[in-house]
Structures are given as structure tokens and as C-alpha cells.
A = this chain, B = another copy of it.
């Protein structure tokens, strides 16, 4: 497993050379296998994680075991905002949704850098706001949009955080992220496949027509993307 380059994470790449120089010695490679729980609800974090190739889902698991994704974090962001927001913990869980690499940074170094009130602080706060937008839009989407539309939104959000047009992801997993039944995902994915938008096969999804996927999605994807671009924080779109 090659050591990930800090420049692969957009937040780290945005740092000034002086800042990056200070952080670099403390950034340690951290592998993220599929399904790994990066943090558990209520646990106190001792690191923040900057994904490079991995994708992490923030999700809330209810008392009865049902779950729902709150937001998704890829190479454009970081996992563990509660460390600098001052809350220490959050009631949600972070799970690796796509295996890959990340860099992690011990809490004390992050706090030190944050308290310098420099561009790192600004960057982290701006990123947090983009995360807030994503959460808000998730709430709206959960309220008003069909499973079909939500699947499109979800695929696009994942796609933007991946180097290729292929996702490794079972319908069961997508269902648990969206908080719907697996059968609902099967039905929605079936429609997309018939429309020639994707190709699904035993946990491998190839996106064939991204433009059509965007057209079939609800407005929520575009809102999040536009807002993040405005904040100069969005992954490049392939």
C-alpha cells in the first residue's frame, strides 16, 4: 500500500507551504478498509482523518438498528470536525463506504494549528459549512424526493469523490445508507439500468451516462455541488 500524498486531499492541498510544512511530520498514513468504523457515536476522537482515496459516510444508527446517511466525506474533506468545533464527540457514526487511503492527524496538532487562527482555521470552518449544507439538503431530500431520485443523488455524490466511473457497492449497502429497503434500491437501479444510465452487476456499478444521471436526480445534488464550488471546496467533476 503506497503512502498517500497529502496533496491528494483537497484540504491539505489548499494549505500554504508553511502550514503544510508544520503539519507534514504529524500526518500518518491510515488505511481505510471497507466497513471500517472510523468513529463510533459518542466516542472521543483522538485523530482527524483526511481521506485521499477512501470515501467515508457519516450516518446515524437508530435504537432499532435502522440507519440513515447524514453526509459523505471524500478527498475534499475531513472526518472529525467535532474536534475543532469543541464538542469532542457527535451522536453519529463514520463508516468507510469505499475502501482506500487517508492521512490522519493527532488531535493536539490539529488544535494547535486551528488556534493559530490562520488560513487552516478558515479552511476548516468553510468546509464545516459545506458539510452543513450537505446535511440540510439530505434532510430536505429525505422528506420530499423519491428513492429513484435519491439514488441518483447518492451515486453522483460518490462519483465526484472517486477517480473512475465505477463504484464497488452492493445494493444492500446503498439501502442502508439511504435508509430504505434493499428492494427499493433494486427497483430504482433497475430503472436506471433500463434507461442505459448504469450497469449493475454483483456489487459493481458502472456509470455509463453521467449527464442523464444528473438529469434524473433531484435538485439536491446540484444545490450541494454549487454551494461547495462557491466555497471553493468541491471535487472536480469528471
Contacts and interface: CB of A to CB of B under 8 A. Distances in A.
A140 B85 contact: no
Interface string A31-62: 00000000000000000000000000010101
Contact of A70 (B91, B130, B140, B219): B140
B62 A126 contact: no
Interface size class of A (residues with CB under 8 A): 35 or more
B126 A135 contact: no
Nearest to A220: B62
B87 A231 contact: yes
A200 B142 CA distance: 29
Interface of A: 58, 60, 62-63, 66, 68, 70-71, 81-82, 84-87, 90-92, 115, 117, 122, 125-126, 128-133, 135-140, 142-144, 179, 219, 223, 227, 230-231
25 contacts: A62-B140, A63-B219, A66-B144, A68-B139, A70-B139, A70-B140, A81-B129, A81-B132, A82-B129, A85-B125, A85-B126, A85-B129, A86-B122, A86-B126, A86-B129, A86-B231, A87-B231, A90-B129, A91-B136, A91-B137, A115-B117, A117-B117, A131-B132, A139-B142, A140-B179
Given A68-B144, A70-B139, 16 more contacts: A60-B136, A60-B140, A63-B219, A68-B139, A68-B140, A70-B136, A71-B136, A85-B125, A86-B125, A86-B126, A86-B129, A91-B227, A131-B132, A135-B139, A142-B142, A142-B143
